[in-house]
A and B are shown apart, each in its own frame.
Chain A
């Protein structure tokens, strides 16, 4: 079945970097666009970034543009989020999510990985 498994979260100091991974299985990863969405503790969902199936298109939320970078390796069925210059307000659970080929609905989510930015 479709599975998305995030990893790489942890506690990091402000200004430092972290890289999240999302391992996909159960579907043809290279055919699907992907997203990162985050949720700060006790808050709502915030869309973070999008990448097209081939990596050609990337879009970012204003709050993360220039600091977070989405990428993918279709040979490894893995999506990444490189997080630089981290701020306390980046503390959140980060979810990767799959976008349907037809209709563009985000239909499957991983279980999330927690990033805590704190000194």
Chain B
């Protein structure tokens, strides 16, 4: 299986900060990567697909980049609604795998 490693596991930030989360794949997945946001007790929400494509309705402060084995999710100016846990997921293989998650909390 393809292993996905996210860093950091937890990130403390303030409103207005620029935030970057990294996701590394154990082998090349081309651009077959999605990013999800999950708030406590809720289902995940798709933010970015195919590494850098913004899902409809998602604020433009979210962006994704990368290909191959290294990917980033960037929030350009953190807003109060953005405090949540973020997951990357590869879909290069039918055996989908998620990163372990990055929790963004208030500094």
Same assembly: yes
Known contacts: A57-B94, A61-B95. The answer to whether A44 contacts B34 by CB under 8 A is: no
Asked if B16 is an interface residue, CB under 8 A from chain A, the answer is no
Question: B98, A50: Cβ atoms under 8 Å?
Answer: no
Q: How far is the CB of A21 from chain B (nearest CB, A)?
A: 16
Which listed segment binds B: A7-15, A24-32, A77-85, A109-117?
A109-117
Please pick, from B42, B45, B100, the residue contacting A44 in the complex, using a CB distance under 8 A: B100
Chain B contact residues: helix, strand, loop or mixed: loop
Contacts of B101 in A (CB 8 A): 44-45
Give the complex CA separation of A57 and B55 in angstroms: 27
Contact with A along B76-90 (1 / 0, CB 8 A): 000000000001010
Chain B interface residue count, CB cutoff 8 Å, equals: 24
Quick check: B46 and A107 within 8 Å, CB to CB?
A: yes
Contacts A107-B46, A107-B49; A45 near B87 (Cβ below 8 A): yes
Q: How many residues on chain A are close to B (CB under 8 Å)?
A: 22
B97 CB–A CB distance under 8 Å: yes
Which residues in chain B, 4-37, are within 8 Å of chain A measured between CB atoms?
A: 32, 34, 36
B96–A35 CB distance below 8 A: yes
Q: Could you jot down 22 A-B contacts, CB within 8 Å?
A: A44-B87, A44-B101, A45-B36, A45-B44, A45-B87, A45-B89, A45-B98, A47-B95, A50-B94, A50-B96, A62-B1, A95-B44, A100-B49, A105-B34, A106-B34, A106-B91, A107-B55, A109-B44, A110-B43, A111-B42, A111-B43, A112-B43
